[in-house]
Amino acid sequence: MNTADLGLPVDVPSTALFTDQYEFTMVQAALRSGTADRRSVFEVFTRRLPEGRRYGVVAGTGRVLDAVENFRFDPGVIGFLREHAIVDGATLDWLAGYRFSGDIWGYPEGEVYFPGSPILRVEGSFAECVLLETVILSILNHDSAIAAAASRMSSAAGGRRLIEMGARRTHELAAVASARAAYVGGFDSTSDLAAGFRYGIPTVGTSAHAFTLLHDSERDAFRAQVDSLGRGTTLLVDTYDVAEAVRSAVEIAGPGLGAVRIDSGDLLLVAHRVRQQLDDLGARDTRITVTSDLDEYAIASLAAAPVDAYGVGTQLVTGSGHPTCSMVYKLVARATTPTGALQPVAKKSLGAKYSHGGRKWAARRTDAEGVAEAEVVGTGPVPADPALRQLLVPLVERGRIVAREPLDAARERHIAARAALPMSAVQLSRGEPVLPTEYV
Amino acid sequence: MNTADLGLPVDVPSTALFTDQYEFTMVQAALRSGTADRRSVFEVFTRRLPEGRRYGVVAGTGRVLDAVENFRFDPGVIGFLREHAIVDGATLDWLAGYRFSGDIWGYPEGEVYFPGSPILRVEGSFAECVLLETVILSILNHDSAIAAAASRMSSAAGGRRLIEMGARRTHELAAVASARAAYVGGFDSTSDLAAGFRYGIPTVGTSAHAFTLLHDSERDAFRAQVDSLGRGTTLLVDTYDVAEAVRSAVEIAGPGLGAVRIDSGDLLLVAHRVRQQLDDLGARDTRITVTSDLDEYAIASLAAAPVDAYGVGTQLVTGSGHPTCSMVYKLVARATTPTGALQPVAKKSLGAKYSHGGRKWAARRTDAEGVAEAEVVGTGPVPADPALRQLLVPLVERGRIVAREPLDAARERHIAARAALPMSAVQLSRGEPVLPTEYV
């Protein structure tokens, strides 16, 4: 399947250049030294969660599968590599025939993770695996960062609706991926039409201050909007005086007005006043949406306010202080032949970044009540203990993708995985990872 | 020109869905109320710089021009909007014929900016201008954030080479835009091949720890790399013991070894030791590249270390603490007819976000020595004062792009603009914007 078949508004003819140059030069040197086809295992993991965070959220797995499938070298790309002498002719020939033919296992999308969790395991020849490093990390590091912020916000919102509206605060295509990751993390809809087009996420949106300013009066603007979009629309009431705007809104749309939106000011205070005013005007079912610089803390602080929906922008698409994860892609085992026995490997420089060598399994151990109590990571045979819920699932088998799923499946999986964590996982306060990672 | 003609690895058939839904519903309501063709002026500006920053850097302007040119509605997009009932039939007909036919002026790419600087001014009918809000902000907010971080890092590096290597820490296409913005901000090269392909930015990269671990010994790995890439290559010396690796590296490549890379540990200490060792081994021209979690402060702190090049990843592509700018796109003036006299407009809700109404010019006032002393922003006729260097240049005239330029022009412009600021602009310490903004 080509990503274009999925209705991608931005066609991705190839993902092969979303790659750091050293991956190509390593392939060249390995082809020449005869080590390129050594059987190899790479794993994606983090050494730590962002400071103070209790859990991470795996997101982007579906996009990784698209990227692996489209990792191909068309003549234009080969020509570029030749012209700039990035690699030699033998390597170009090898690249021209590239298709990933190995296996990928991973945590399914939406699952939570902890330091050391082997989120993705890529197996095949050294050369075919090493090339995928950058594109896999780009996707998982970005999407998981956004999903983690979204998950905290959706806990804080406690069932109230969450609208992703951060497109203007991030790269235009990162925005589409952010809307997708936010949905996985528990958001309900997005303002980003490309995300609706590409992933079928519900889209929402009605009007901005510019629409009010365009008209000769606020009343003219409200009348124009209600005439065109119906009384179920959301009117923006903070361009001039909020109380007057609410009065006009209900007068023009009637008490069946769908919603009002407040985008500035002291939201707690203003929401209470607006609710009272709407109720007094008989518009008891008119909802209140708030949308000004919200993050998980602001959402939580509005729990006592009569707010029906939150629109979140900047803080969501920038990961609420943590715009990226620290996932790395490391060679953990390799053979000395294409099919030989795997030997664990790990970097060992003094005082340096430490890694656990060896091909790993991972499981979540639960107590008698089904509450998670540890992330267990091991090498060797997978234990048959029923208290250990195995976390790695097959995603790609011999180059064939075997784990496509609707985005709702990832969203539901996330909500279930989060619910199975100890209660303190959803506290917003800073703390340690809510589960310890045990190496066995 | 289609962006595909520029060698874009990711074809952008249309940018029309990089849009928040409310822009479409506003167009629908305005078409119905007869206000859609009112002559309108929108401006992009920020109310503040990120906390502690002394200046901002305009980046992404070239990408904005591509986006405006490709903002078109093909049948697939129209079909999506119809199927999901985003807008009504009359609006779909209008969208199907959409071509931006107005004027855009702006700060040229690479120029510095301050709070209130009218970075971009978009003029045309309300409907044609309002649709561009999200895509313009996405590009400028992202790219300018990265360029601002890059600019601080390039000041701190004081002429040493800077390599952008953050692709794995951000969305795969944000990475390409980040490499571009970093180049504008003063970086010299990138590891991201897509950025080399798309924008002609010089690319670099040799090997990772995985390459050493793949081989039976570090010496085998070094030999394989030198055999394939030549002695001018960069060998990574911190997989096991650094001193032993440096000894092996020079022994295998000879004293003509191009460079060594250090990716972990106390870089100041290790760089000194490695330099001494290289010199003792006669490899006096072998360069040292360092690449571990650098930001502008770490770069500055290594000024006294014998380092030749810095590779920067995470902190660059996340804007060194400020991954987005707070640029907004506001209606500042409009007529009541398609060609009538402009009337300034501005949001005025109490305690709310404040804007200056009116179509603006902007200039940098310089003192007798040519050092900038104020950002001057005004409405009305542009003053003919020679001390006021006018900042807005035409980018699009009646829908036609008039300001394409090579990326090097933006890079050189940035270096010149930064050099004309007061000296304190390039201090890394937190402070107020280095120029005051004066409204006249």
Q: What CATH number is given to the structural domain containing B238?
A: 3.20.20.70
Give the model's confidence band at A333: pLDDT under 50 very low, under 70 low, under 90 confident, else very high.
very high
Distance from CA of B235 to the nearest CA of A (A): 11
Does B422 fall in a domain? yes
Nearest to A249 by CA among A297, A288, A307: A288
When computed from its CA atoms, the radius of gyration of chain A, rounded to whole angstroms, is 25
Domain boundary among A296, A317, A338: A317
**Looking at the partner chain, which of A30, A206, A241 has a beta carbon nearest the beta carbon of B25?**
A206
Under 8 Å between Cβ of A414 and A147: yes
Distance from CA of A240 to the nearest CA of B (A): 4
Nearest to A359 by CA among A36, A39, A38, A42: A42
Q: Token digits for A205? A: 């949106």
**Looking at the partner chain, which of A20, A26, A330 has a beta carbon nearest the beta carbon of B165?**
A20
Nearest CA in chain A to B176: A18
CB atoms B227 and A13 under 8 Å = no
Report chain B's mean pLDDT, rounded to a whole number: 94
Report chain A's mean pLDDT, rounded to a whole number: 94
Q: What is the pLDDT of residue A350?
A: 55
Identify whether residues B124 and B239 lie together within a single domain: no
Taking the C-alpha atoms of residue B177 and residue B239, their distance in angstroms, rounded to an integer, is 31
Identify whether residues A295 and A385 lie together within a single domain: no
Q: Using a CB-CB distance cutoff of 8 angstroms, which residues of chain B are in contact with residue A23? A: 205, 208
Nearest CA in chain A to B342: A214
Taking the C-alpha atoms of residue B403 and residue B68, their distance in angstroms, rounded to an integer, is 13
Is residue B3's pLDDT more than 60?
Answer: no
Domain boundary among A317, A345, A364: A317
Q: Using a CB-CB distance cutoff of 8 angstroms, which residues of chain A are in contact with residue B204? A: 21
Parallel, antiparallel or unpaired: strands B328-334 and B309-312: unpaired
The per-residue pLDDT for range B45-69, each reduced to its tens digit, is: 999 999 999 999 999 999 999 999 9
Distance from CA of A228 to the nearest CA of B (A): 5
Q: What is the pLDDT of residue B350?
A: 55
**Looking at the partner chain, which of A9, A22, A347 has a beta carbon nearest the beta carbon of B191?**
A22
For A106, phi then psi, to 5°, come to -170, 170
Nearest CA in chain A to B91: A228
Does A154 fall in a domain? no
Nearest CA in chain B to A314: B324
Q: CA A134 → CA A38, A39, A263, B248, B320, distances in Å?
A: 20, 20, 39, 29, 20
Does A152 fall in a domain? no
Does A278 fall in a domain? yes
Does A153 fall in a domain? no
Identify whether residues A177 and A326 lie together within a single domain: no
CB atoms A142 and B26 under 8 Å = no
Tell me the average pLDDT across A318-329: 98
Q: Using a CB-CB distance cutoff of 8 angstroms, which residues of chain B are in contact with residue A17? A: 9, 193-194, 197
Identify whether residues A8 and A114 lie together within a single domain: yes
**Would you list the DSSP string of B369-426?**
TS-EEEEEEEESSPP--TTEEE--EEEEETTEE-----HHHHHHHHHHHHHTS-GGGG
Distance from CA of A55 to the nearest CA of B (A): 19
Q: What is the pLDDT of residue A355?
A: 74
Q: What is the pLDDT of residue B13?
A: 60
- The total of other beta-carbon atoms located within 10 Å of residue B220's CB is 15
Taking the C-alpha atoms of residue B13 and residue B374, their distance in angstroms, rounded to an integer, is 42
Identify whether residues A249 and A386 lie together within a single domain: no
Identify whether residues A198 and A54 lie together within a single domain: no
Parent domain of A217: 160-317
DSSP state at residue A319: G
DSSP state at residue B320: G
Under 8 Å between Cβ of A379 and A439: no
Distance from CA of B385 to the nearest CA of A (A): 33
* Interface ipTM above 0.90: yes
For A255, phi then psi, to 5°, come to -70, -10
The per-residue pLDDT for range B321-344, each reduced to its tens digit, is: 999 999 999 999 999 999 999 999
**Looking at the partner chain, which of A29, A130, A214 has a beta carbon nearest the beta carbon of B40?**
A214
The per-residue pLDDT for range B205-240, each reduced to its tens digit, is: 999 999 999 999 999 999 999 999 999 999 999 999
Q: Which of A91, A172, A347 to mutate to test the interface with B (most CBs of B within 10 A)?
A: A172
Q: Using a CB-CB distance cutoff of 8 angstroms, which residues of chain B are in contact with residue A7? A: 76, 80
The pLDDT > 70 percentage for chain A reads 96
**Looking at the partner chain, which of A25, A240, A345 has a beta carbon nearest the beta carbon of B207?**
A25
In this complex, how many residue pairs, one in chain A and one in chain B, have their CB atoms less than 8 Å apart? 372
Q: Using a CB-CB distance cutoff of 8 angstroms, which residues of chain B are in contact with residue A224? A: 29-30, 32-33, 35
Domain count, chain B: 2
**Alpha helix locations (H) across A36-111?**
61-69, 75-83, 89-96
Identify whether residues B210 and B284 lie together within a single domain: yes
Nearest to B266 by CA among A350, A330, A327, A347: A350
Under 8 Å between Cβ of A417 and A147: no
Nearest CA in chain A to B320: A323
Distance from CA of B291 to the nearest CA of A (A): 13
Identify whether residues B235 and B341 lie together within a single domain: no
DSSP state at residue B148: H
Nearest to B403 by CA among B43, B14, B107, B98: B107
CB atoms B193 and A28 under 8 Å = no
Q: What is the pLDDT of residue B7?
A: 40
Does B258 fall in a domain? yes
Beta strand segments in B143-233, E: 161-164, 189-190
Tell me the average pLDDT across A274-293: 97
Does A155 fall in a domain? no
Q: What region, left, alpha or beta, does residue B42 occupy, with left being phi > 0 and alpha being psi -120 to 50 degrees?
A: beta
Does A170 fall in a domain? yes
Identify whether residues B339 and B434 lie together within a single domain: yes
Q: What is the pLDDT of residue A13?
A: 60
Is residue B310's pLDDT more than 50?
Answer: yes
Under 8 Å between Cβ of A396 and A123: no
Nearest CA in chain B to A134: B168
The secondary structure element, H or E, covering residue A297 is: helix A296-301
Nearest CA in chain B to A82: B197
CB atoms A352 and B67 under 8 Å = no
Beta strand segments in A137-263, E: 161-164, 189-190, 234-236, 259-262
Nearest to B60 by CA among B135, B167, B129, B168: B135
Beta strand segments in A161-246, E: 161-164, 189-190, 234-236
Q: Using a CB-CB distance cutoff of 8 angstroms, which residues of chain B are in contact with residue A29? A: 207, 211, 224-225, 227-229
Q: Which of B138, B234, B343 to mutate to test the interface with A (most CBs of A within 10 A)?
A: B138
Nearest CA in chain A to B206: A22
Q: What is the pLDDT of residue B349?
A: 63
Under 8 Å between Cβ of B302 and B290: yes
Half-sphere exposure of B307 (CA within 13 A, CB side): 32
**Looking at the partner chain, which of A173, A196, A239 has a beta carbon nearest the beta carbon of B171?**
A173
**Looking at the partner chain, which of A210, A265, A317 has a beta carbon nearest the beta carbon of B330?**
A210
Nearest to A92 by CA among A67, A115, A74: A74
Q: Which of A241-245, A268-272, B4-8 has the lowest mean pLDDT?
A: B4-8
The percent helix, strand, coil of chain A (3-state, each to 5) is 40, 20, 45
Show Cβ contacts of residue B55 under 8 Å, excluding neighbours closer than 6 positions.
B49, B112, B113, B114, B148, B151, B418, B421, B425, B433, B434, B435
Show Cβ contacts of residue B194 under 8 Å, excluding neighbours closer than 6 positions.
A17, A18, A19, B9, B10, B167, B172, B175, B176
Q: What is the pLDDT of residue A349?
A: 63
For B183, phi then psi, to 5°, come to -65, -45
Show Cβ contacts of residue A171 under 8 Å, excluding neighbours closer than 6 positions.
B138, B139, B142, B143, B170, B171, B173, B174, B177
Q: What is the pLDDT of residue B347?
A: 83
The number of residues in chain B equals: 440
DSSP state at residue A382: P
Is residue B14's pLDDT more than 90?
Answer: no
**Helices H / strands E in chain B, number of each:** 15, 19
Distance from CA of A417 to the nearest CA of B (A): 25
CATH of the domain at A390: 3.20.140.10
Q: Token digits for B153? A: 């890092």
Nearest CA in chain B to A241: B349
Distance from CA of A115 to the nearest CA of B (A): 17
Identify whether residues A170 and A309 lie together within a single domain: yes
Q: Which of A399-408, B104-113, B352-361, B419-428 has the lowest mean pLDDT?
A: B352-361
Tell me the average pLDDT across B22-45: 98
Tell me the average pLDDT across A282-302: 97
Identify whether residues A167 and A310 lie together within a single domain: yes
Identify whether residues B281 and B337 lie together within a single domain: no
List residues bridging with A394 in a β-sheet: A105
Taking the C-alpha atoms of residue A423 and residue A404, their distance in angstroms, rounded to an integer, is 31
Q: CA A143 → CA A181, A324, B9, B323, B377, distances in Å?
A: 5, 8, 22, 15, 40
Domain boundary among A267, A296, A317: A317
CB atoms B197 and A77 under 8 Å = yes
Q: Is the model more confident about A5 or about B262?
A: B262
